[in-house]
Structure 1
Amino acid sequence: MRTARFLFLCMCCVLGFTVLPLQAAETGEVPQLTDPAQEFRKVAAQTNIPWFYIAAIYQYESSIHNKKKLTSGQSAVQIPAQDWCGPMNPNQLDRDEGTIRVFHGIGRDGNKDGIADPTNQTDVIYSLANLLRSNGLTEDDIQISLWNRYEDTMVVDRVVAFARIYNQFSTADLSQKAFPIPNRYNYSYRSTWGDKRGWGGRRMHEGTDIFADYGTPVVATSYGYVEMKGWNKFGGWRIGIRDLNNVYHYYAHLSAYAKGIQTRSIVTPGQVIGYVGSSGYGKPGTSGKFAPHLHYGMYFDNGTRSYAVDPAPHLRRWELQSRRK
């Protein structure tokens, strides 16, 4: 038995199985493969689906179905039983690929051990890749498959954007973070989460205010893409960036945008995206109703709803990491 286990572990190393790091669900940072897309590239070679699309759908599914505790070879994605086995399958614990196919489930045996295991990383990645190629192998075919899976244009756009990011950097290890104000500039902040706001009606403060001089650079805190840019009567000139954990980062009250930043632009941690200002609380162009500062907010999306969280703990951790660098 011990010999068999040793051989199995050696085989895992040869095939490139990786240990997914432990992440708490409340951090908004879902477990990612630490290996640079080796597993995705292996499945891509088997299915003829570009590895970055496989990485993108796996990462999106991870953001809405992640686990708190993971072990080596275990998937970060929890595929619902009715999807894995098929909605009409009388056995919602079915692990036989043949009967799963009959009932139109997505579960597949990726590691060829005779079991279509929804907790096994290789089986899940292989199953998602097969789902992507269910309508063909072109870009349009893949997007049709995504639509059939989610029936939501917004989700399809997000997965496609994730694929663009992975493709641009040629790696799946894109977990680096940055504090939104560079170290060499003066700034101050404290948690203002939940404070009352009066302008525009009674509401709570959904973020952290980072006070800095007018024109101080504002940088992206993570890899992601610009999902929203423009005027908001509350936030003034603002930018919304969606990261690979499906978290929306909200930067408000800017005085200007960085050159070249447009909707759908891909950004990196530490990249300048705008400059501190005091815009907002009125019609487009309104400014100076409060001291210059950056309002920074974080909104998590679990696939069914989006909700704000206190960004202060994240900011403190990123601030410390940035100073150490």
Structure 2
Amino acid sequence: MNQSTAPFDVDGSDVKYDEISSYISSIETVGYAYVPQAFSQSEISEAKELVRYWFEKTQSEQSERMPRLNRNQSMVYNLQNKDMLFTRMMMGNEIIQTVLKHFLNDYWFSSLPSDAPNYILRSFLARSSNHQMPMHIDSFVPYTGSHPFIMQCSILLEDQTEENGCTVIVPGSHRSDRYAPQESFEDAISIEAKAGDLLFWDSRIWHGARENRTNGTRWAMIATFCRWWIKQAFDIPGNLPQEIYDQLTDGQKAVMGYCSVPYDDEKCGIDMKRSFDMLPKRVGDYKI
């Protein structure tokens, strides 16, 4: 199926259809999209307080084996394990789900309903800018095709400005077929936005972040989603707390990876593309 003609799954008015279509068009054309005030200020306030709580609780527990881009940054990893609010915001939003299904769903994943997500969560974290982040891509390899393999969604919990370390992007670079050169930082545009706004970007796009020159934070929640056959950054299916698993919809369980996780061996099963009726009752049974 041609990606540009993949069917939308949008209920409601023509206005909503046109709105989401414009975000999809922007991602296809320039590599990113900006959605103003996608979340209420009450949701944002609650999420920000929870992120600050989990940062204080977990910062001393993080491994010293950090990738270069994450060193000396304020981070909270694996938000899907921390509180159901994070999952509801990132995986219960109609705009996010519709855009991701358009770009990342596998048309041939026929064991799940055609209107269900079959892309998966690769990582889910919160980040506050400290030092300048170098230009990079998150897709591992650059390529020019029209089918993204990986995409990011960022929910801003605080306003981001040039002064407090906003994201910078080189529009159109997602189709450059090149890794991000560091000199491209000078040509990048600043993405200044408000708390409650939502950003999407194709993981091939050249991007980074400015230095936070203030004494404050710039928290955002960032989820990386990918096609079902790409390796997750953590063993998300094996480590999700049971009390959170019990609150997930079948579609959210699929996004966590439970419909596509590898079996231990051929004695357990073969097909990685599994249906909802094969979802485990308990996290500990997910490979059976």
TM range (shorter): under 0.3
Higher alpha-carbon Rg = 1
Normalised by the size of structure 1, how large is the TM-score? 0.23
TM-score by length of 2: 0.25
Higher relative contact order (CA 8 A, sep 6+): 2
